[in-house]
Chains A and B, each alone.
Chain A
Amino acid sequence: MQVTAFLLGMLVFVVYTVLIRAFYTVKPDERAILTSFGRARRIGRLMVEDASLNEEEKQRYRFPRLQVIGPGGPYFKWPWQEVHKVRVVTEAIDLTWDPTKSQHTIEAVTKDNLTTGVGGQIRFRVSENNLYAYFFGVDKPLEHVMGYFISVLRERIANFVDPKGESLVGDTELSTGSAAAELSEGVSINDLRKNLPLLNDYMEQQCRSTGARYGIELDAALITQIDPPPEVDRALSAINTTRNQVAADISTARADAEQQITMSKRAVDIARNNAQAEVAPLKELANTLAQIKTTGGPGALRTYIRNLRVPLLKRATRIVQTAAPK
């Protein structure tokens, strides 16, 4: 009876470990690897390769390629085997995430030594090609990635200048003067804000090796905020306000100028027309009198003028006449 019970107990243990615990499934967003007696199943002698690592780094980040179990199931495993699953979906994490410190922004120093705040997110996913690094090679992969990312980001911010060499004030905005040359240098905070996409691209490019290093691939760097101290922000806003004000003043002046110039051009036309109007009867009268002279000679012209003066005699109030000599 007791021997039977003992054997039954052993049978229960075997059924539980070999049959019940032997089957597992992998969800669509998961990948799994299997270890036998603690050793992960490898793909022959293949190692993870990454061209972005230099020779010295390749020696340091040497991880074997593992046999990855894709979604599906039920899969079978032996009792001495263990399944390690991980979600491979793209996830996002705030830049300020730091397990050892609570913070609301990342502090960084710009090229002109201004201490500014940086905010945003990074999108990442576990690298299917390097699950060994994620599961075994690196103690805390995400902390590693964040440590590396923040280091590169701060270094880049400290060196960042506008790649197009654009100044704070556009080339067309300042005409001449001693200030123009002085102001041709960019203000770092403005350069950074104008070129956020470029900064994000640089970070993505620099973090291409994280998959090979730590088993986490950076999908995108989404730096969305460059937060300088409020007084700097206000001063930058004042520049924009002034820029708009100046543009408005210049537009108004140009409009006034155009109006006045048009008016003066019209004044010339008006004066010419008035003069032409004055000259037209003159010319007409001259032509008429010339015809009278041509037809009747100089006497006819004098007679015409005498005739013209006749109405004046009607209006005469006094006539002084001298006696004719006898």
Chain B
Amino acid sequence: MFFDSDFSLGPIVAFVIGVLYIPILLAIARALGLYAIVREREAQVFTLFGKVIGTLDEPGLRFPLGYFGLKALLVPFFGKLYRVPTCLRQHYLRDQMVNSEEGTPMGVGIWYEMQVSDPVSYLFSNANPEGSLQANVASSTISTLSNLEMDKMLEDRHQLSRRVRAAVSPLSEQWGYALGSVYIRKVAFTDRQMVDNITDKVVKRLVQVTSAMKQDGENRVGLIKSETAYKVSQKMAEAAAARPAIVGEALNAIAQQDPEVLNAVMEVMETEQLIASGAQVDVLPVDSEILVQL
């Protein structure tokens, strides 16, 4: 059907032009600088004949003609429009080498926020503002942290971060950058042998704790055993002394009552034992003065 000889391309072309007409018209108007759409956190810097004629940084629909006059119409032909994002960005500078006061090589990672505060200075004051800022942060970090005590470097990070920020901020402002928060994100030992030595130190301390606990345990067990032996021996002595105490007390009581009765008791008991023993008996007279061979 499209290749029919009667078919004309005119209406189709007209339709396509009709569809694209408004976007093309808007693009041309934008290219000619009749209007500009400034997005959030964006600055548009207009230059003409090598000079900055102005900056638009208020978001929304803007008409450069209203801001810069007829010069704005020449920008597309004899000038340039720069779009600069002014949102908050961050960068992490890894492994900056510093030496502590003790001479320990340390690796420091520094994390910082940055934001374009002056788009014109950012564009034209420095060929590589980000690179220069990085170099500045790095050198400031090294000069701030070098020759500090290792413990201070590890523990007073926030205070040191503030010092780095204070040192870098004035220069960064000159290049159109505002430095945001700065944090020393990492402080680490770069020498593997030192890391191993510290690990070894901690291990040995733990071993010392283990030994101390073991020794203390043995001491306690020894103490318990010796205290027990002492108490047990006391009790056993008490047990051994029980019979003499009780029997002696009973005999004393009988003696105090009547010594003759006590003698009689003893004679009775001795005789009973003699009878019970079944031993042979030789009877001698009481007043016998001769030794009898049995």
Which residues of A approach B to under 8 Å, CB–CB?
A: 1-14, 35-40, 57, 60, 80, 100, 107, 109, 111-115, 132, 135-140, 143-144, 147-148, 150-152, 154-155, 158-159, 168-169, 173-175, 177, 179-180, 183, 187, 189, 214, 228-229, 231-232, 235-236, 238-239, 242-243, 245-247, 249-250, 252-254, 256-257, 260-261, 263-265, 267-268, 270-272, 274-276, 278-279, 282-283, 285-286, 289-290, 293, 298, 301, 304-305, 308-309, 311-313, 315-322
Contact A315 B231 (CB under 8 A): no
> Given the interface contacts A9-B14, A229-B199, A285-B268, does A246 sit within 8 Å of B281 by beta carbon?
no
Contact between chains at B12 and A113 (CB < 8 Å): no
Decide if A159 touches B155 in the complex (CB within 8 Å): yes
Given pairs A38-B40, A39-B40, A264-B231, 15 additional interface contacts (CB within 8 A): A11-B18, A38-B42, A39-B59, A107-B188, A137-B88, A140-B89, A147-B90, A151-B183, A245-B217, A271-B239, A275-B243, A290-B257, A316-B281, A318-B283, A320-B292
Chain A residues with Cβ below 8 Å from B224 are 250, 253-254, 257
On whether the beta carbons of A138 and B87 are closer than 8 Å, the reply is yes
With the chains together, A155 CA to B185 CA distance in Å? 8
Instruction: Supply 25 A–B pairs (Cβ within 8 Å), ascending by A.
Output: A39-B40, A60-B180, A109-B154, A113-B154, A139-B89, A143-B90, A150-B186, A151-B184, A155-B158, A158-B155, A235-B210, A245-B217, A250-B217, A253-B221, A257-B225, A264-B234, A264-B235, A275-B247, A279-B247, A279-B249, A289-B264, A316-B282, A318-B282, A320-B285, A321-B285
CB <8 Å contact, A286 and B262: yes
Q: Kindly state the separation between the CA atoms of A139 and B262 in the bound complex, as whole angstroms.
A: 116
A5 to B212, CA, bound (A): 97
Return B169 CB to nearest CB of chain A, in Å. Answer: 11
**Which listed residue (B187, B228, B294) contacts A158, Cβ 8 A?**
B187
Chain A contact residues: helix, strand, loop or mixed: helix
Digit string of B1-36 for contact with A (CB within 8 Å is 1, else 0)?
A: 000000000111111111111110000000000000
Shortest C-beta distance, B184 to chain A (Å), equals 7
Binding site secondary structure of chain B: helix
- Which residue of chain A has its CB nearest to the CB of B292? A320
Q: A136-B40, A308-B268, A315-B280 are in contact. Are A1 and B242 (CB under 8 A)?
A: no
Q: Knowing A136-B40, A139-B89, A289-B261, say if A312 contacts B274 (CB, 8 Å).
A: yes
**In the complex, which of the residues A7, A109, A187 contacts B189, with contact meaning CB atoms closer than 8 Å?**
A109
A40 contact set on B, CB distance < 8 A: 40, 59
CB of B135 closer than 8 Å to a CB of A: no
- Are the CB atoms of B210 and A249 closer together than 8 Å? no
